[in-house]
Every structure is written in C-alpha cells, then in structure tokens.
Chain A
C-alpha cells in the first residue's frame, strides 16, 4: 500500500469539502473492494475519506410502498433486516449470496452499487426493482445508473446516500457463482410488480441491465419455458478465464428460467 491521508468526516458536507480539497481523493465505504486494490498497489489515492462516520448513511426504513437502505448498510445487515425480509425478501436472499461472511460483514450496498463491478450481485436488483439512487443533491433512476464497466452516472465527488426500492409482489434471484471468487458469472433477478415483469441481469455484460426481451415474453406467459423462445445474443458479453461470452449467454437463460420457477413456487 502506498501512503495516503486518512479522513473520517461526520457529515456529507465535510466529506464533500475534503473531496474537493484533494488532488486525488477516494471515498471509503466497507473497503472490501478498495482496500485490496490499494494493497496490491493498483490504486494510490492521496486522501482516503472514510464514510463510516456519517450516521445518516446507515439504516433501513420503510415508508409507504418504498423501502430505503442507507448506502453504508452492510450486506449482512440487509440479509438480517426484518423489514427487508418482510417487504423485499429477494433482496435479503441476494445479499446472502455475496462473497463470504467476512465480506458481508464489511461490504456495503452503497460501495457495491457505486463500484459497478460487472459481476456484482446488487446491480441486478438496482435495475429491476424500481429503484432510485439518492445522492447529496440529486436522485438517479436505477435503470439509468450503470453506464459501463466500473462506470456509473455518479459525478466525481458525488456520494450515494441511500437507495430506495419499490416492493415487488414477488421476485426471485438466481446466481451462477464464479467458483473461485464467488462473484456472479451471471445473476438474474425476476420481479413481478402486479403483473408487470422486470428482469435484471448482472455478470453477463459490462454492467447490469434489464432484459427487455425476456420481460416481454414473460408478461405474456409467465412460465420458465417461455424463456426458451428468447434469443440472448452474446455480442458484447464478458469473456474470461471462467466463462466465455457464449456460455454466459446460455447461463442468462438458465438462471432466468430458474428465477422464474423459484418465483412461481414462492
């Protein structure tokens, strides 16, 4: 690790001003992505601004038909939350699939979403669960948040403060884990919003996206077999040591079918 200055602001304003005052700043949330990168000397920020001191970033609340999760909330907290389990059980299930216990105890939803790792799990939920990403001064629609490999709609210095989720009537997530890292080779979340089906896919392409073709056939015929008719071209899909683009395209369909089946079984 290269030397850096560590800061622990207690308000969003302080965090932003620290950020603006530095030549090479970075926000630190759970550190499960950032710290390993720094340890491998692949990142050398001058100032590390730890968000853990900002109380307003943590917590889960329900208001009307929305559930809101603070950016600094850990995967473990999401997994264990009674509110999440009651209103969006698929989210608790998804959080439980992330990494291992240590990672879940440190890693946060804000960090995961801000990072836009192509194989992260949460993004499948962000694009499919009618979400709004709240930042200090604006809000971004979840379907417009992920731009590319590790790229999001966030402006430099912008902090995700919380994420607001709509509540599907039912939903299911199925993930094909990378055997080594346990990240998603492919993950598919299928959600039913009172007859309107949304499908979020992570792992396959450079960033998470909705699968409109699948949504269309499922809206007509909500059965796993309906997916068979959908073409999933592998153009632009990721291809690496663990899975070719072609295999990923195949897995998208398999995981989608399994998610639909799981959702129907309840």
Chain B
C-alpha cells in the first residue's frame, strides 16, 4: 500500500474543515445541558478601586435570577487564587513578587473588566439584567496605567514596592559592557512593543456540570490545554480533586495563546454549578473578550548594539520594562523573560549579550502569551537594531547580517543567553528570500514609486525562535511549574483501524489531519482508518496542550514513539503467526515481513490476532495499544528570513504593504499546505501589529479600543499575496525532524515591516502601529 497522497509530506486537505465550514462544528456554546442556567459576570467599571459594599438585593429580585455569588462567597468556600505557573528568580536570587489573584475580586479591583461577582439565572437575559442591578459602592483610587512611569506611581498591590514583580537578568553584564566600551560603533534604539488584544474568532466560553449523585464535575471550556486547566483547577484553585474533574475542550475557534490560561470565568462557572445544583453556562461577548482576555506584548525597551570596525557584532545590551497587567497570568512571568531574553542572540554570533527585564504591574488587563510569546518581542528588538546599525554604517542590511550569522559548521551552537541551537542554515533562507523579493530590482522599484508620489522601502528580519519548550527538568529548574513533555497513544482496534489520543489540542492547527498522516505513515494503515482524539481529559490520558508551536515536535514525536512500540509488539505477534524468530521479522508499509521466505502478515491481521488470540505468543499480553510520553531534549529552533516591501503615499501617509516574503526553516514538513496556512495566519498577525493593531488605555485606565470598530484587525485587503517558501535542516533530536511552524509568521514579519517603513521614511523609528497619521506627521517633518 502506498501512502504517497496521505503520508508524511503530502498536502492532505484538512479533514476537520468540512465540519467547520458547514457549521457542523461543536463549540462550547453549541453544547447545552438539561436544566442549564446562565451566568453573567459583574465587572469593575474602574481601573482601580476599593469595593466598599455590594448590594445584591435588587438583583435578586430580577425575574429569573437564581443566585448571586461574590468574591467573598468564593473565599468562604476556600477556593484558592489563580496561580502564575512560572516562578522567575530575580537578579538577587529572590523569588519574584506575586500579587494574590482571587478569581473573583474581593476588596480591590485592579483593572476595568475584572470580575467580582456572578449572577446565575434561568436565561442569559435575566443574568445580564441581574448583573446590571448589582449595586456596588466603589471608592476610586488613582490607577497606574503608563508603563514607563509605573515604577514611580502609586503602589497597586500591598507588599509590592515600585509595582515591580521582578527585576530579572540574563547574560554577562560586565563582559557585555566592556565589549560595548571597546566597540568601534554603537547603535542605540528606544522601542515600544505595542499592546495587542488577541481576538480569537470564538470568544471564551464555559459550561460547568456537577453530578450530585457521583460528585463528578465536568467543565466544557475553550481551552488550548484541558489537562493543564484541570491540574490548575484541582491543585491550586481546589475546585474539585483531579480524579473527579473532567475538562473537555471541544472544537475551539482559535486561541493564539489567549486560551492557554486558566481564567476567573471558567473557575467560577464550575464552582457555581455545584452551588446551584444545575449546569451553568457562560459565553463571553466580544466586548468582554476585549476587556478580560489576556493581552499580548507591551514592552518598552532600550537596546545597544556594539560593532567592531569590520561590522562584527561585539556586544548587545537590552533593557526592557514589560507590562504584566494587574495580575500575573499563568505564564505572564515567563514570556518576557525566558521566552524573550533567551532569544536575543538571534541568528548571530554576538559573543556578549546582556538583558535585564523589569516586570511591572499596571491597572490593565493581565498580559500573557500571544502568538509568538516573547520571541516576536526579541526579534523586534534585535532585527530593528541590526537594520539600524546597517543604515548608520552605510552597509547593506543583508550583507551585515550575513557576516554575523552563525554558520552551518558552528552547530551545536551555545549562545551567550542559555540556549544551544542544534542546527540551522540561516544563509540558505536569506538567499532564497533575497531572490524571491528580487532584491536586485529594488532600487529600480524605488525610483518607479517615487515617480508616482510614493516612497518605497524594504526591510528584513532574520529571526530565530524556539519551539517546544524543553526539556522538563531544565525548565522546572528555571521556575516552570509543570513538565513540558507530551503524551501520545495509539490504539489499534481489532478490525485494524486506529484511534489515536494526543495531549496536544487543535484549535485551528489541523492536528486531526497531520497527526493522522503521521500515524498512517508510521504504521502503513490508510489515512481514513486513523481517528485523532484530543481535548478531553476523560479520554486522553494526559497532556500539556498546544502552545509555543510544540504540538508536532513534541506531541507528534510521542506518537512516533507509541508507533515504535506498536511495531515492536506487532513483530512478536507476527513472528508467532509466521512461526519465525522475532529477529527475522521486519516492518515496512503496514506489513511484517519475513525476508527469507517472502512471507508476510499485515498489521491489520496482527491487530486481529492481538484481540482474538487464537494463535498467540504465550508470554505476551493480548491487545495492541501503546502509549508514550515524549520529553524533548532541547527546544527546536525554526529560523528564517522575512522581507517586506512597502509603499507610502506621500499625500496621506498610508502604508501599503506591497510584498512580503517569508522563507522559513521548519525542519521536516508533514503537510506543506497546513504549514503554508499557518505561515499565512502568522504573517497577517505580524503585519497587524506593525500597521494596524493597538490596545490603548486612556489615563483613567479605560480601554479605548474596546471594539472592532476601533481595534483594527488585519483583513485580506490589508495584505499582499504572500510569497512563502521553506528551506530544511531537520531537527536533530526528535524522531520527526520537525521544528514547528505555528508562530514564525508573527515572529519575523513585524520587524521586517517596520524596517521597511522606517527605510521608506528615512527615520530611525516610529512607534507601532505605523498608522497613516503618524507617518504623515513624519513626512511633514514633525
């Protein structure tokens, strides 16, 4: 049997899309339970206030309202705080300072939209009416909104001076400062990485069910990692013990990181289900999503890059203030530290690097991982400063990068910021990208634009990123609260088809297709005979979910290991069936072969024998189901070059992105079409950050961009036809040779676009997004 059309490397159409595009998907809001009630959250209208009194008497009189629960009720039930899952150590070795984060606020509210009570009612409408009728006496306090001055502002949390959660560093400070002191040239830049609001298509939702008879809880929710959700809810919040809590993440309409975290809402919903004795459902509307989903990015950075006479990078110093929002979200501490500082070597042999990061609380929505999570911020800093250095020195930006790149012979390469890159060929991607954009032809295109009243610019980003956070032991030493492995299980059924269980979770990535391709290829069974199950702690043994582009490299590798175990056991069964020695049996394309006699049995026959052991090895357990946990030895390191070309309308300041090339090295590719789709989506988000998106709070801490009428998401007509291509250096330490492609688009493109915009304008910097008015003011000479 040949799997050429469906195996590894084939652009199989996504099998899940049929249900998605025909409206047959099952999202959390599609699920309903008999006797279901509805929850509405009562949220803070103020960025910072003390709650003096909550009067629920009017609300309880609203028709249909069943129960009103406040933060005090939750505290009385002994529920714990929402934890931060990564303990960052400060410069002086002490632990970061974490403010308590009760799911429902009790005495103080610290950002607009923070929930402090929930109203449960017979209908969604009644719940809303009830929420509006809750009367709260607030004593307003001065909010801390501005990131740059947050340390000098009023203290938000008791016991946390300067509003600082941590002061963290990585790298050799004296060596870096010495290198900069001896540098022939230093390029300095002050950068702002704008706050983004994720806006997954499906808003967050939760449906909590409690079975009185058994004491079992089931939470259906929009999660990227249901097992982690269960772990946090049982171990930290202590809603229910792990074995009595099932978390199901059914079809999920996009996450981009924002659905990794355990939020107040699902916590309250599952707790309330037991209190009300009826299922409780909550679905966010878009306005709630804007206010209460974790936001992304939001850094202020000063960077200095030192170069020697020849243009070699000798030292890089980065000082960043990262906005953590009002509370530390689940991975909010790790994103601007371990997922940021460690990436600052980029693709270059810079020998001395030092980074310090101040993590700061403000009265804004918590900030956490958003597509790329730390790596886009690192790439932005590094690739903007490198491009600026090239301009200052009058060097070709491609050449300057090239002379500093880590060479194929340098791997494994130990960076000065902790990581060891296993493999890469950075010039290969750069060369391919230069060709794709027709770099030679750029000067002529620039002149042609000029003749039409347009300014043309070109910008590069040669990024590196790290996927599949690993290995577990090292991460835990560095502060991670959980391991970073993944589980995979393959059950061959008696009739020879396979049910595959993965701890990864697909919310748009296409795992049901890709993982079926892997198993089909590995075991030589038809693609259509492989079913992929994910997103249910009741069906999948364990898992850490999907984020950080880890699913294929880690989850896919677990399936490869499970497949090896299936084959190993299958060989013993096959040897018995063919009356041969196990050592003589080989496996290929779904057949166990005996080379000597040209005999063979199919894997389906072996599966049948395993369940109907008429003739079976004596010392072997029946059944053919195997599972594996794969714990990666290292990160994977996708890398590539993105090049953007923009045209700026001199009359209006409008920036038109006319070309965007992305050449990425994702290692081995399972499904090129899905990879291309992932890159397209990522590029759109990266461009969105550069040109359109900005989460803005006013001085009072009110979110000004609280709707899609004001927060500008990228749309198809904002984007050119992307030119995407790949180069391949296979990952050296996982069985698939795969690296991960989910975030790269959003990691490289932002810096490339901004480099192109600043090139066109001939300025060192302008803050993102490069809106037409900002650009117009620069053109005007302001």
Given contacts A40-B287, A247-B776, contact A180 B709 (CB under 8 A): yes
A18 contacts across to B, CB distance below 8 A: none
On whether the beta carbons of A247 and B773 are closer than 8 Å, the reply is yes
Query: Are A180 and B712 closer than 8 Å at their CB atoms?
Result: yes
Tell me the complex Cα distance, A176–B649, Å: 12
A176 to B654, CA, bound (A): 10
Cα of A250 to Cα of B651 in the assembled complex, Å: 9
Q: Is A176 within 8 A of B652, CB to CB?
A: yes
Q: What total count of A-B pairs have CB within 8 Å?
A: 37
CA distance A40 to B708 in the complex (A): 13
Chain B, Cβ-Cβ closest to A1: B125
* Contact present for A254 and B705 (CB under 8 Å): no
Query: By the criterion CB–CB under 8 Å, are A180 and B711 in contact?
Result: yes
A196 CA / B772 CA spacing, docked (Å)? 33
Query: Which of B696, B713, B772, B776 contacts A241 (CB under 8 A)?
Result: B696
Q: For the complex, what is the distance from the CA of A247 to the CA of B652, rounded to whole Å?
A: 9
Contact A179 B652 (CB under 8 A): no
Q: Which of A3, A41, A247 has the most chain B CB atoms closer than 10 A to its own CB? A: A247
B287 touches A254 (CB 8 A): no
Given A250-B776, A254-B651, A254-B652; A241-B710 close (CB under 8 Å): yes
| Contact of A243 (CB < 8 Å), options: B651, B705, B712, B773 | B773
**Please, which residue of chain B has its CB at the minimum distance from the CB of A257?**
B651
CA distance A41 to B771 in the complex (A): 31
| Residue numbers in B under 8 Å from A244 (CB-CB) | 773
B201: min CB distance to chain A, Å: 16
- Is B728 part of the contact surface with A, judged by Cβ < 8 Å? no
Task: Tell me the nearest residue of chain B to A39, going by C-beta.
Answer: B285
Residues in B whose Cβ lies below 8 Å from that of A250: 776
What is the total number of residues of chain B having a CB less than 8 Å from a CB of chain A? 21
We find that the number of chain A residues with CB closer than 8 angstroms to chain B is 16
Q: Which residues in A have their C-beta under 8 angstroms from that of B652?
A: 176, 251, 254
The interface bits of chain B over 758-779 (1 if a CB of A lies within 8 angstroms of the residue's CB, else 0) are: 0000000000000111001000
Q: Shortest Cβ distance from A195 into chain B, in angstroms?
A: 28
Chain B residues 700 to 729 lying within 8 A of chain A, measured CB to CB, are 704-705, 708-713, 718
What is the bound-complex CA distance between A176 and B651, given in angstroms? 12
The answer to whether B710 touches A179 (Cβ under 8 A) is: no
Chain B residues closer than 8 Å to A40, beta-carbon distance: 287
Any chain B CB within 8 A of the CB of A181?
A: yes
When distances are taken between beta carbons in the complex, the residues of chain A under 8 Å from B696 are 241
Residues from chain A with Cβ under 8 Å of B771 in the complex: 179, 242
Q: What's the least CB distance linking A5 to chain B, in Å? A: 15
Closest chain-B Cβ to A211's Cβ sits at a distance in Å of 18
Q: Which of A1, A3, A181, A247 touches B709 (beta carbons < 8 Å)?
A: A181
Set of chain A residues within 8 Å of B744, measured between Cβ atoms: none
> Could you tell me the distance between the alpha carbons of A133 and B215 in the complex, rounded to whole angstroms?
67
Contact in complex: A180, B710 (CB < 8 Å):
yes
User: Do B708 and A180 touch across chains, with their CB atoms under 8 A apart?
Assistant: yes
Interface of B is mostly: loop
Q: Which residues of B contact A176 (CB under 8 A)?
A: 652, 772
CB distance from A96 to the nearest CB of B (A): 14
Determine how close the nearest CB of chain B comes to the CB of A147; give it in whole angstroms: 24
Give Cα distance in the complex from A244 to B777, angstroms: 11
Give the chain B neighbours of A179 by CB distance below 8 A: 692, 712, 718, 771-772
Cβ of B651: which chain A residues have Cβ within 8 Å of it? 254
Q: Shortest Cβ distance from B123 into chain A, in angstroms?
A: 11
Name the residue among B128, B772, B773 with the largest chain A CB count within 10 angstroms.
Answer: B773
- The residue on B at minimum CB distance from A254 is B651
Give chain B nearest CB distance to A257 CB in angstroms.
Answer: 8
Q: Which residue of chain B has the shortest Cβ distance to A185 in the bound complex?
A: B772
- The A-contacting residues of B in range 655-709, CB under 8 angstroms, are 692, 696, 704-705, 708-709
Which B residue's beta carbon lies closest to that of A180?
B712
User: CA separation between A176 and B653, bound complex, in Å?
Assistant: 11
Contacting residues of chain A (235-266) with chain B, CB-CB under 8 angstroms: 241-244, 247, 250-251, 254
Chain A, 24-45, CB within 8 A of any chain B CB: 40-41
A175 → B minimal CB distance (Å): 12
Across the interface, which residues of B come within 8 angstroms of A243, CB to CB?
A: 773
| Complex: chain A residue closest to B691, CB-CB | A179
CA distance A3 to B287 in the complex (A): 20
Minimum CB–CB distance for B630 against chain A, Å: 43
Given known A180-B711, A181-B710, contact A241–B705 (CB-CB < 8 A): yes
Chain A nearest CB, measured from B719 CB (Å): 13
Shortest CB distance B704–A (Å): 6
Cβ proximity bits A124-140 to B, threshold 8 Å, 1 near / 0 not: 00000000000000000
Contact partners of B712 in chain A: CB under 8 A: 179-180
CB-CB < 8 A to A1: which residues of B?
A: 125
By a CB distance below 8 angstroms, the chain B residues around A181 are: 708-710
Select from chain A the residue with minimum beta-carbon distance to B696.
A241
Assembly CA distance A63 to B692 (angstroms)? 46
- In angstroms, how far is the closest chain B Cβ from the Cβ of A192? 23
Return A101 CB to nearest CB of chain B, in Å.
13
Q: Which B residues lie within 8 Å of A254 (CB)?
A: 651-652
- Smallest beta-carbon distance A207→chain B, Å: 19
A244–B653 Cα gap in the complex (Å)? 14
Q: Which residues of A have CB within 8 Å of B713?
A: 180
Inter-chain contact A241/B704, CB cutoff 8 Å: yes
Q: Please report the C-alpha to C-alpha distance between residue A243 and residue B710 in the assembled complex, in whole angstroms.
A: 12
User: B468 → chain A, closest Cβ, in Å?
Assistant: 35
Against A, the Cβ 8 Å flags (1 = close, 0 = not) of B106-127 are 0000000000000000000100
Closest to B714 in A: A179
Residues of B within 8 A of A251 (CB): 652
Q: How far is the CB of A206 from chain B (nearest CB, A)?
A: 18
| Residues of A contacting B718 in the complex (Cβ-Cβ under 8 angstroms) | 179
CB distance from A220 to the nearest CB of B (A): 23
Give the docked Cα–Cα distance between A1 and B285 (Å). 12
Shortest distance from the beta carbon of B757 to any chain A beta carbon, whole Å? 15
A166-B771 Cα distance, complex, nearest whole Å: 38
Quick one: closest A residue to B709, CB to CB?
A: A181
Q: How far is the CB of B226 from chain A (nearest CB, A)?
A: 31
Closest Cβ–Cβ distance, residue A144 to chain B (whole Å)? 30
Binary CB contact string for chain B from 716 to 750 against chain A (1 if under 8 A, 0 otherwise): 00100000000000000000000000000000000
Smallest CB gap from B774: residue in A = A247
- Cα separation A250 to B653 with both chains bound (whole Å): 11
Cα separation A176 to B773 with both chains bound (whole Å): 12
A241 to B703 CA separation, bound complex (whole angstroms)? 12
Docked complex Cα distance between A181 and B652 (Å): 18
Q: How far is the CB of A210 from chain B (nearest CB, A)?
A: 23
**Interface centre among A41, A180, A244, by most B CB within 10 Å?**
A180
- Provide the bound-state CA to CA distance between A153 and B710, in Å: 29
6 closest A-B pairs by beta carbon, nearest first, are A180-B712, A181-B709, A247-B773, A179-B712, A254-B651, A180-B710
Between-chain CB contacts (< 8 Å), 21 pairs? A1-B125, A41-B128, A176-B772, A179-B712, A179-B718, A179-B772, A180-B708, A180-B710, A180-B712, A180-B713, A181-B708, A181-B709, A181-B710, A241-B696, A241-B704, A242-B710, A242-B773, A247-B773, A250-B776, A251-B652, A254-B651
Q: A180-B708, A181-B708, A241-B704 are in contact. List 16 more A-B contacts (CB 8 A).
A: A40-B287, A41-B128, A41-B132, A176-B652, A176-B772, A179-B771, A180-B709, A180-B710, A180-B713, A241-B696, A242-B710, A244-B773, A250-B776, A251-B652, A254-B651, A254-B652
